[in-house]
Structure 1
Amino acid sequence: MNPMTENVRSEALFASDVQRSELPTPELIRAAVVAAVDRLGADGCAERMAQEFGEHPDCALGRMKWARHAVRLAFAG
């Protein structure tokens, strides 16, 4: 089994319902990533992210920056 890459994790967090305003813990972020991949698959997470960038590019960029940062912290070590 291949471990999820940082990109897949970031796309999964982006596609999840978790909001940065919730100040999610690393545990919540890890759970949200796994749940999103289980529900949508890696390709489905990427598709949802692409759709948001197409429909709301002004908001999507900030969300992806947050998702990448949050994933790095939650999966560090």
Structure 2
Amino acid sequence: MMTTAELAQVLFTTTLQPSDELSPFQIRQAVDERLYACGGTPSRCALYVAQEAGDHPETYVRRMRWALGAVADAYATATAA
């Protein structure tokens, strides 16, 4: 089982935007697809996060906060169902 932080890192690397109106299912699906693209290894996605943080430090914190909240909500919904 992945942690919320790991899930957020994977979501961070997707093309989804905080302004998109996304369902919990869409967020979980995007995380699954991106994780698959990263070879199923969260640490590979983390490399992309580090690169983005270096390239765009002005937006990193805001996007990561969004990703953390989005996966927390999306996976809480999945667990409750």
**TM, length-normalised to structure 2:** 0.86
Q: Identity rate of aligned residues, in percent?
A: 36
Give the letter aligned to residue 47 of structure 2.
Answer: E
3-state SS of the aligned residue for 2:2?
coil
Aligned to 1:38: 36
Q: Which residue of 1 aligns with 2:54?
A: 54
Count of paired positions = 75
User: Residue in 1 aligned with 2:17?
Assistant: 19
Cα RMSD (Å) of the superposition?
0.9
* CA–CA distance in structure 2, aligned partners of residues 16 and 73 of structure 1: 17
Query: How far does the alpha carbon of each residue in 1:5-63 deviate from its partner, in whole angstroms, 9 at most, with x for none?
Result: 11110000001111111121101000011111110131221011101110111111100
Match of 1:4 in 2: 2
Letter in 2 for 1:13: L
Unaligned runs of 5+ in 1: none
Deviating beyond 6 angstroms after TM superposition, the runs of 4 or more aligned structure 1 residues are none
> For residue 30 of structure 1, what is the amino acid of its counterpart?
R
Q: TM-score, normalised by structure 1?
A: 0.91
Q: Distance in 1 between matches of 2:2 and 2:36?
A: 12
